[in-house]
Amino acid sequence: MSEESLDTFFDNIVQVLMKDLAFYISSDIIPDIVFEKVGSQIPVHFFDEIYILDIHQGFGVFEIEEFNERLIQKPKLFEKTIFQLLKKRKELDDFEFDYILEKYFDKVEFYSAIVNWLSINLSLYNKPN
C-alpha cells in the first residue's frame, strides 16, 4: 500500500473548508457593463438567489432542510480534520508537519476572510430601503 503524498493529504483536509458553502450574489453589485458583455452567458436566476456549493456536485439551488442537515455535519468534519492532522504529526518530521499546518491555516484564514467580507457586504447590500 503506497503512502499518501503530503499534497494529497493537504488537498483532502482543505476540502472540508470548501464543503457545503452557501453563497448569495446580489445583482446590485454587478456593473451594467458586465451584463452587457456576458449577460447572455449568466443563468437567469443566478443573482439574488441563495446557492450551495458542493465540491463533488457543483452549484445547486439552496434548499434549507437539506443544507441544515449538511451544516450539522460540518463541526464533525472539522473535528475529523484535526484528528487527521494530529495523526499525521506522528508520521512526519517537524518541518514537514509545520509546512502542512502553516499551509492549512493559511487556507483557513483565506476562506474566513472571504466569508467575513461576503457577510459584511451581504448585509450592506440587503438593508431595507
Q: Would you say 67 and 20 are in contact if contact means Cβ atoms under 8 Å apart?
A: yes
| DSSP per residue, 36-97 | HHHGGGS-TTSTTSEEEEETTTEEEE--HHHHHHHHHHHHHHHHHHHHHHHHHHHHS-HHHH
Q: Note the pLDDT of residue 60.
A: 67
Q: Do 74 and 19 form a contact (C-beta atoms < 8 A)?
A: yes
Domains of the chain by residue range: 6-125
What pLDDT, on the 0 to 100 scale, is given for residue 62? 64
* Measured distance CA(50)–CA(63) in Å, rounded: 9
pLDDT band at 1 (very low <50, low <70, confident <90, very high): very low
List, in order, residues 6 or more apart from 4 with CB less than 8 Å away: 12
| Owner of C-alpha cell 455535519 | 73
Q: In this predicted model, what pLDDT tens digit does every residue of 5-56 receive, in sequence order?
A: 888 888 888 887 777 777 677 777 777 888 888 878 877 777 887 777 766 6
CB-based contact 62:51 (threshold 8 Å):
yes
Residue 126's pLDDT band (cuts 50, 70, 90)? low
Q: Is the predicted pLDDT of residue 58 greater than 80, yes or no? A: no
Spatial contact of 47 and 59, defined as CB atoms under 8 Å apart: no
